[in-house]
């Protein structure tokens, strides 16, 4: 049997996170992007100037299309951040800061 690595999704349990005020079921350790996709959410950021929707583009943390706000911290790459029980995830508009 192969040992589980830290941060790896656990198939034997779920937790609840909140996305823009809506509770979602997620697996602890899966990425925010994976949890949002599983819930049918494909866009969670808008571009700074044109307000165009964005979601996952590269999926490996190279680009910045999948930015979200997690627990009040903007500019979190959804494809890299693991879900934790109780996380509050939000759509990010532009830079995610008040100085847009």
The answer to whether the beta carbons of residues 55 and 44 sit under 8 Å apart is yes
Count structural domains, the chain: 1
Is residue 72 in a domain? yes
Is residue 35 in a domain? yes
Is residue 22 in a domain? yes
With CA atoms as reference, report the closest residue to 19 among 2, 1, 41, 38.
41
CATH number at residue 48: 3.10.20.440
Is residue 76 in a domain? yes
pLDDT values of the chain reduced to their tens digit, one per residue, 100 residues:
454 555 555 556 899 999 999 999 999 889 999 999 999 999 988 888 888 888 888 888 888 889 999 999 999 999 999 999 999 999 987 666 654 4
Is residue 3 in a domain? no
């Amino acid at each position: 049997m192969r040992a589980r690595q830290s941060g790896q999704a656990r198939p034997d349990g779920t937790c609840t996170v909140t996305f823009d005020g809506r509770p979602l079921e997620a697996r602890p350790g899966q990425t925010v992007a994976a949890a949002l996709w599983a819930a049918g959410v494909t866009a969670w950021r808008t571009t700074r100037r044109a307000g165009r929707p964005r979601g996952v583009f590269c999926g490996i943390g190279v680009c910045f299309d999948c930015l979200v706000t997690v627990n009040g911290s903007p500019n979190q790459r959804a494809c890299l951040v693991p879900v934790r029980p109780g996380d509050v995830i939000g759509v990010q508009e532009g830079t995610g800061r008040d100085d847009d």
